[in-house]
Chains A and B, each alone.
Chain A
Amino acid sequence: MPRSRFLSGAVTVAALSLAASACTTGPAGGPSSDGDGSGGGTVRIGFTSDVTSFDPAKGAGATDYALTSLLYQPLIGQDDGGAFVPGLAEKWTSTPTKTTLTLKKGLTCSDGSPLTASQTVASLRRYQAESAGALLTFGPANAGEKTTITGDDKTGTVTITTSAPWGEVLAGLSGTAAGIVCKAGLDAGDALARGAVEGAATGPYEMAKAQRGASYELRLRKGYTVFPQYAAVPAGEPAGRLRIQIAKNESTLANQLQTGALDLAPFTGTDAKRFGDSDNGSDNGTFTVKSAPLIRHYVGFNQRSGRPGADPKIRKAVAQALSVDAFNNVFGGTGQKLTSYVDDKAPCVSTDSSLLTGTDKAAARQVLKGVVIKLEGSNAVAGGAGNSYVAEALRAAGADVKLTNADNATWATDVTANQGDWDLTVFPLISGALARGGAYFLGPEPAEGGLNYGAVQNTAYARHYVAATSVTDRNAKCAAWQKAQEALLTSHDVIPLATVDVHYATRKGISFATPTGALSLSTLRVTG
């Protein structure tokens, strides 16, 4: 009798578990339709990291950018090829010292209050004061009061004036960090970073539920029409609800995607292969895989006196010792081989492979034999497998390599803040823009308040960088960028390697655009 009771109890528990399971496991055929009636149902998205800040000006990771871009929309967007497209602003003009943007008519905050030019100005001033990236939006020479931001509520115009010429204002304003925050958010102080503030959103979604570290649910704002107007936005309806789920590893996300608990998940590792061959747009009937550059890897040198990187011959020999194909294969061979320090989605990037030094192991050996090189890299991508390849390639060329595979925080302290003992690094560049990525190769060193971690002294590059960032005319800008990259590449201050791509696997019936190579969830549409 006790035995049969135990068995019946066990069977009941198992049955209840399975019933509960059936309720939670989503439909395998596409997004569910349990939204609030607006938009195209619910789309479930997985990420491997939690949000660190809901303040767009202080975002630091992929999940931060993904969520805040949905809540706080920038004035403009930047599309493939570098063209700017309307966001909250419908039109704009820009000269090296003055940029004027006109807001779209009838803009509202998520509490229904009108979004005015004055509020937009307040949001941009806060961005200038709070965001580290704002330095390269308004220009290093235009910090603080050297930039004036004014607004006219009657005409709906916002005007930005800089004292020194700077041609990257529009590019800076198109970034997620420059997303416009309404008054409720500006008045909320630190609370804006801790969670979405009611009435603060200007983007297409507002927060419906949040469970830090586990899941977030965003609801499409009723009647929202001012989506960013990228050229490749898919046809279909925006999702009525977006459910963001956090799982710490990609295999877990893949399991959830495969069992129907998710509709979209990003992968940097081999789990992407479960859903297709990881080629852009590959479609296996159930899932589509779309790839975009996540990290741009290049070799950078410590060029301070007494370091091996101070010798141009050694820098060239390092380039000769390395094979970009072999480096790319370390990450599955799906990355893009770089011809500059950013990928080919960046406007004005050099694609001239004649500026690069090819592999010549014999020549490398003649120079590198016996040279002691302290290589420090971040293990954030694939446990530092790329660093290990570079170390082995240099050892094969006769160098005595001491490899430090540090976690990202240690690497950043040692290398980008130059507080460590390092000669060479495999730099994982996140930004895909020439101006932002190129700021690491000129100006003051970290100890003097600058970003030039390797103490690069390339006057030709610096001159052309200033020329490229001081103009707004596209042809003049690209011509200057070409010369700047040539100066940097031919002196081997930077040795381009390859990108590590993120592969977005989506269930059939969902599509989105990746303008300038970056995921834009504002463009996500339910297509079937």
Chain B
Amino acid sequence: MAATSARAATVGAGRPAPLGPWGAFLVRRVAGLAAVAVTLVVGTFLMVQLIPGDPARVVAGGDATPADVERVRHELGLDRPLFTQFADYAGGLLRGDLGSSFQTTEPVARIIGDRLPFTAEIALLSVLAVLLLAVPIGLAVAARGSRRADSSFTFVTGTVGATPEYVIGTLLVLGFAIKLGWLPAAGAETLASLVLPVAALVLPATCVMARIVRREAAQVLAQDYMRTARGRRLSPLRLYARHALPNLLTATLTLGGLILAGLLGGTVVVESVFAWPGIGQRVVEALLVRDYPVVQGCVLVLGLLAALLNLLVDLVLALLDPRVLAGKGAN
């Protein structure tokens, strides 16, 4: 760690940095995060206003008279000027209040608190599985260097990687739940319920990532220092784990962060296929009934989480590769 900091200081020594390379790096990243947050707040508020349809009418119900609809509109605060509504929304955010659902009157914070753990669970497990599978597979194919293995690998990963998650999910249910009866078809009641939704997310993502790892690994393995390492007759495990893998980490982590950020919001289809009570499903429900506070709150929280994850990945990359501090890193 001390060595890393010293190297970082050396890298940043060429330009005036009163905060030091780490300080400047953090200021840049936090300022970026703040800009993302402001954009998300304004963007989500304006986005829901553009959706056609009247939330007051949806809440009032099919039998409602226009007077009922107007009463509901007033109760929801939708009869006030747009700027006043935004000021209330932004003021609420500053107090930590995300508002309440138009439909169920539940606080949005509670809805997110109830749903986010489910989405996070399958997203985090999926990323972990993707990393644990894709890196060794990609590395192994690159190390083998066989044209036949390479062709098979390209065919399989190309096919599975291009298959939509809902198709994979449906096939998994058909095979493992309906035909074999080994795993639950849907629900979130036990650990076993995790297997199929995570598999549906992991298979295509693993294929995409394994292809990238293979390409990166092929470049790394062709480097002079790898030839030197081979010349020292190191064991394959030591050769790849100690000399090749660290040089793949930058690309792998960058991609892993993007995959996780994507999975947080992108589990909608898988949550639907497996009746997984995550946040993606709730956003779709809320969109269909024009439940503005729920849409705003969920999109805002998901967006901020994605931004935070990217920040975390940047920090880890900066620790691993100090060139990142000066904005010259691989990513």
Contact = CB atoms under 8 A, between A and B. Distances in A.
Interface of A: 16-21, 23-25, 49-53, 58, 60, 132-133, 135-136, 190, 193-194, 211-214, 245-249, 251-252, 255-256, 258-259, 261, 406-410, 412-413, 416-417, 419, 430-431, 436, 446-451
Interface string B64-102: 111111000000000000000000000000000000000
Q: Which of B53, B68, B115, B275 has the most CB of A within 10 A?
A: B275
A408 B285 CA distance: 12
The 7 closest A-B pairs by CB, nearest first: A409-B53, A247-B275, A255-B185, A214-B277, A21-B192, A20-B192, A132-B64
Given A53-B104, A248-B275, A21 B183 contact: yes
29 contacts: A17-B191, A17-B195, A24-B187, A24-B193, A50-B285, A52-B289, A53-B104, A60-B61, A132-B60, A132-B61, A132-B68, A214-B275, A245-B187, A246-B275, A248-B271, A248-B275, A248-B284, A255-B173, A255-B178, A255-B186, A261-B184, A407-B53, A409-B57, A412-B62, A413-B53, A416-B57, A446-B66, A447-B66, A449-B66
Contact of A212 (B111, B178, B183, B272): B111
Contacts of A19: 192
A331 to B, nearest CB: 20
Given A258-B185, A407-B288, A412-B54, 16 more contacts: A24-B193, A60-B59, A132-B61, A194-B106, A212-B111, A214-B277, A247-B186, A247-B187, A255-B185, A256-B186, A259-B181, A259-B184, A409-B54, A412-B62, A417-B54, A436-B63
A73 to B, nearest CB: 21
Interface in B30-73: 52-55, 57-69
B65 A132 contact: yes
A483 B177 CA distance: 56
B61 A17 contact: no
B182 interface: yes
B289 to A, nearest CB: 6
Given A248-B275, A252-B186, A17 B288 contact: no
B188 interface: yes
B192 A24 contact: yes
B66 A249 contact: no
A407 B52 CA distance: 9
Given A25-B184, A135-B63, A449-B66, A213 B277 contact: yes
B176 to A, nearest CB: 9
A413 B181 contact: no
B151 interface: no
Nearest to A419: B54
A25 B68 CA distance: 45
Given A255-B186, A416-B62, A249 B285 contact: no
A255 B177 contact: yes
B170 interface: yes
B273 A252 contact: yes
B281 interface: yes
B254 interface: no
A51 B104 CA distance: 8
B282 interface: yes
A24 B189 contact: yes
A351 to B, nearest CB: 26
A409 B65 contact: no
Given A17-B183, A190-B105, A252-B272, A409 B288 contact: yes
A52 B103 contact: yes
Contacts of B64: 132
Nearest to A136: B63
Contacts of A446: 66
B25 interface: no
A407 B286 CA distance: 13
Nearest to A260: B181
B190 interface: yes
B121 interface: no
Nearest to B273: A252
A214 to B, nearest CB: 4
Interface of B: 52-55, 57-69, 103-106, 111, 114-115, 170, 173, 177-178, 181-193, 195, 271-275, 277, 281-282, 284-285, 288-290
A386 B193 CA distance: 37
Contacts of B103: 52-53
Contact of B281 (A18, A133, A193, A248): A248
Residue among B62, B115, B282 facing the most chain A CB atoms (10 A cut-off): B62
Contacts of B55: 409
Contacts, number: 158
B186 A412 contact: no
A296 B172 CA distance: 37
A299 B290 CA distance: 26
A353 to B, nearest CB: 28
Most buried by B among A49, A247, A447: A247
A447 B273 CA distance: 42
Given A23-B190, A194-B106, A252-B273, A417 B184 contact: no
Contacts of B192: 17-21, 24
A448 B70 CA distance: 12
Contacts of B271: 248
B104 A194 contact: yes
A50 B106 CA distance: 13
A249 B272 contact: yes
Contacts of A213: 114-115, 277, 281-282, 285
Contact of A410 (B52, B178, B189): B52
A71 to B, nearest CB: 16
B182 A194 contact: no
Given A409-B58, A430-B62, A20 B190 contact: yes
A18 B195 CA distance: 10
Nearest to B52: A410
A451 B63 CA distance: 8
Contacts of B282: 213
A341 B106 CA distance: 37
B158 to A, nearest CB: 26
Contacts of A406: 52-53
Contacts of A249: 272-273
A61 to B, nearest CB: 9
Given A211-B277, A412-B54, A449-B66, A256 B185 contact: yes
B57 A413 contact: yes
Contacts of A212: 104, 106, 111, 114
A246 B274 CA distance: 11
A264 B274 CA distance: 18
A1 B64 CA distance: 70
A245 B277 CA distance: 10
Contacts of A60: 59, 61-62
Given A247-B186, A413-B52, A58 B61 contact: yes
A86 to B, nearest CB: 26
Nearest to A133: B63
Contacts of A419: 54
Contact of B65 (A248, A251, A252, A449): A449
Contacts of B54: 409, 412-413, 417, 419
A111 B216 CA distance: 67
Contact of B58 (A248, A258, A259, A412): A412
B62 A18 contact: no
A258 B180 CA distance: 12
A409 B104 contact: no
Contact of B105 (A135, A193, A430, A449): A193
A18 B275 CA distance: 19
A409 B185 CA distance: 32
A147 to B, nearest CB: 16
A17 B271 CA distance: 19
Contacts of A18: 182-183, 192
